Chain A
Amino acid sequence: MTGPHVEKFIVPIGPQHPALKEPAHFEFSVDGETVTSASVRFGYVHRGLEKGAENRNWAQALYLLERVCGICSHAHSTVYALGVERLAGVSAPPRAQAIRQILLELERIHSHMLWVGVAAHEAGYDTLFMYSWRDRETVMDILESFTGNRVNYSANVLGGVKYDLGPAQADSILSGLDYLEKRLHYYLNVVNNDESFLGRTRGVGTMTTEEAENLGAIGPVVRASGVHRDLRVDAPYLMYADFPVTMITATAGDLQARFVVRIQELFESTRNIRALVEHLPEGELSVRFPRKVRAGETVSRIEAPRGGLFYFIKSDGSENPFRVKVRTPSLRNFMSVIVGVVGHQLADVPMILAGIDPCFSCNDRTVIVHREGSDGSAPPSESDSRKDSSSWSKP
Chain B
Amino acid sequence: MTTETLLEEAVQLIGDKAGGQSVPEPGRIDLTVEPARLLECVNALTTAHWGYLSAITGLDLGPQDGHLEALYHFCQKAAVLTLRVSLPRDGAVVPSVCGLIPSATLFERELMEMFGIVCEGTPDPRRLFLSDDWPQGVYPLRKDFIVPVPANRPEKGTAE
Contacts and interface: CB of A to CB of B under 8 A. Distances in A.
Interface of A: 39-43, 46, 48, 50-52, 55, 86, 213-216, 218, 231, 234-235, 296-299, 301, 308, 310, 312, 314, 323, 325, 327, 331-332, 334-336, 339, 363-364, 366-373, 377-379, 381-383, 385-386, 391
Contact of A367 (B3, B114, B123, B135): B114
B5 interface: no
Interface string B120-160: 00011111111111111010110001011010000000000
A43 B3 CA distance: 36
27 contacts: A40-B128, A46-B129, A48-B140, A51-B147, A215-B103, A231-B78, A234-B78, A299-B25, A299-B73, A299-B80, A323-B59, A327-B57, A332-B54, A336-B103, A339-B102, A366-B141, A367-B114, A368-B148, A369-B131, A371-B133, A372-B133, A372-B138, A377-B135, A382-B127, A386-B132, A391-B105, A391-B124
A314 B62 CA distance: 13
Contact of B128 (A43, A298, A339, A385): A43
A298 B54 contact: no
Given A51-B141, A327-B55, A331-B106, A43 B127 contact: yes
A298 B25 contact: yes
B89 interface: no
**In which size bucket is the chain B interface?**
35 or more
A55 B128 contact: no
B71 A216 contact: no
B55 A325 contact: yes
A25 B55 CA distance: 22
B131 A335 contact: no
B101 interface: yes
Nearest to A39: B124
Contact of A381 (B77, B132, B148): B132
Interface residue SS majority, chain B: loop
Contacts of A299: 25, 28, 73, 80, 82
Interface residue SS majority, chain A: mixed
B77 A335 contact: no
B27 interface: yes
B75 interface: yes
Nearest to B59: A323
Given A48-B140, A323-B59, A367-B140, A43 B131 contact: yes
Contacts of A381: 132-133
B136 A334 contact: no
Contact of A372 (B77, B102, B135): B135
Nearest to A233: B77
Given A298-B25, A308-B54, A310-B73, 6 more contacts: A43-B127, A43-B131, A308-B75, A325-B55, A339-B103, A378-B134
Contacts of A296: 24
Nearest to A231: B78
A385 B126 contact: yes
B148 A370 contact: yes
A262 to B, nearest CB: 21
Given A41-B126, A46-B129, A234 B77 contact: yes
Nearest to B124: A391
Nearest to A386: B126
B25 to A, nearest CB: 6
Contacts of A214: 102-103
Contacts of B106: 40, 331, 334-335
B25 A367 contact: no
Interface in B53-106: 53-55, 57-60, 71, 73, 75, 77-78, 80, 82, 101-103, 105-106
Contacts of B130: 43, 46, 367
Given A43-B129, A382-B132, A368 B54 contact: no
B75 A301 contact: yes
Contacts of B105: 335, 391
Contact of B27 (A51, A235, A325, A378): A235
